């Protein structure tokens, strides 16, 4: 059961961050997000291309303080490229 709990917790955190970001980031940027996850002390957001990654990174830089207020254990917000399948 611990594995199921871990997967369920991760899915819940993903849904939370998707909704949280959708309320704060312009629609044209959230539409270019291909995924996100919490890893160790970072929120990692994936963008569909390097160009969108740069724009998303800039937008999320402004939200880092708010991210830490919501989840203090997160030290950074990272944006990486992950093309759509």
- Which tens digit of pLDDT belongs to each residue from 7-22? 788 899 999 999 999 9
With contact defined as beta carbons under 8 Å apart, do 74 and 42 qualify?
A: yes
Q: How many domains does the chain have?
A: 1
What's the whole-number mean pLDDT along residues 28-42?
Answer: 93
User: Each residue of 40-67: pLDDT tens digit?
Assistant: 899 999 999 999 999 999 999 999 999 9
Strand partners, 46: 35, 80
Rounded Cα distance between 1 and 22, Å, is 32
CATH of the domain at 19: 3.30.300
Residue 75: both structure tokens together: 């030290």
Rounded Cα distance between 82 and 80, Å, is 7
Domain containing 51 equals 2-81
Residue 49: both structure tokens together: 């291309």
At residue 5, the pLDDT reads 75
With contact defined as beta carbons under 8 Å apart, do 80 and 44 qualify?
A: yes
At residue 3, the pLDDT reads 64
């Amino acid at each position: 059961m611990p594995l199921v709990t871990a997967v369920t917790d991760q899915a819940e955190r993903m849904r939370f961050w998707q909704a949280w970001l959708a309320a704060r980031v312009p629609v044209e940027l959230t539409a270019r997000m291909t995924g996100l996850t919490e890893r160790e002390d970072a929120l990692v957001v994936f963008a569909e291309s390097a160009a969108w990654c740069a724009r998303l990174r800039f937008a999320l830089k402004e939200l880092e303080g708010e991210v830490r207020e919501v989840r203090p254990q997160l030290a950074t917000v990272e944006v990486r490229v992950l093309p759509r399948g």
